[in-house]
Amino acid sequence: MDVRIERALTTDAEEILALQKLAYRSEAELYRNYGIEPLVQTIEHVKLQFQNHTVLKAVSDGSIVGSVRAYANDGTCFIGKLIVHPGYQGRGIGTTLMNAIETFRPAGRYELFTGSKSVNNIRLYHRLGYRIFKYETVEPDWGLVFLEKNREIQPL
């Protein structure tokens, strides 16, 4: 399978949003909540994110099969919306996108979050060197897990 990672353009926003809604369906089912932000995000909001986020896409056979977004603030790169088409999951695309976003957005520290029931996501992030540093309870049986990865900055 040939997958290319590229910087996404604003013209990709509709395809990325459609993929996002497809990819987050399983999360909505897991948490029994179809009002989660990735499912209700509007096209206008996604297009606005292109102004201050680095948005990458994974392309295979002319279609977007994955994406990730990030922005930097005060030395930290905040990563969000890592998505992979359900039919392409388990093929390393998520790992490739995460490695690419760290290259496109070099920082001393990276931060992201996921739901505590999303064990596959947590496993992926741990494998990539991210460690849990905070937990916020959302409901009695689940919460948000915040993970970080610190990168040593090499002196010039």
pLDDT one-digit tens code per residue, 6-49: 999 999 999 999 999 999 999 999 999 999 999 999 999 999 99
Of 156 and 77, which is predicted with more confidence? 77
pLDDT at position 152, please? 66
CATH of the domain at 99: 3.40.630.30
29 falls within a domain: yes
156 falls within a domain: no
131 falls within a domain: yes
Contact assessment for residue 100 and residue 134, using Cβ atoms and an 8 Å cutoff? no
Output the DSSP codes for 112-146: EEEETT-HHHHHHHHHTT-EEEEEEEEETTEEEEE
12 falls within a domain: yes
pTM of the predicted model as reported, rounded to 2 decimal places:
0.93
Q: Could you count the other beta carbons within 10 Å of the beta carbon of residue 141?
A: 9
155 falls within a domain: no
pLDDT at position 81, please? 97
100 falls within a domain: yes
Q: Could you count the other beta carbons within 10 Å of the beta carbon of residue 7?
A: 12
pLDDT at position 4, please? 97
3-state DSSP assignment of residue 27: helix
| CA 40 to each of CA 44, 56, 139: distance values in angstroms, whole numbers, following the listed order | 11, 21, 20
Q: How many structural domains are present in the chain?
A: 1
3-state DSSP assignment of residue 110: strand
Q: Residues 6 or more apart from 113 whose CB is under 8 A from it?
A: 144, 145, 146, 147
Domain that holds residue 57: 4-150
83 falls within a domain: yes
Q: Residues 6 or more apart from 74 whose CB is under 8 A from it?
A: none
51 falls within a domain: yes
Residue 83 CA neighbour count, 13 Å, CB half:
26
H helical segments located in the chain: 13-23, 25-31, 37-40, 43-52, 93-104, 119-127
Burial of 101 (0-12, 13-18, 19+ CB in 10 A): buried
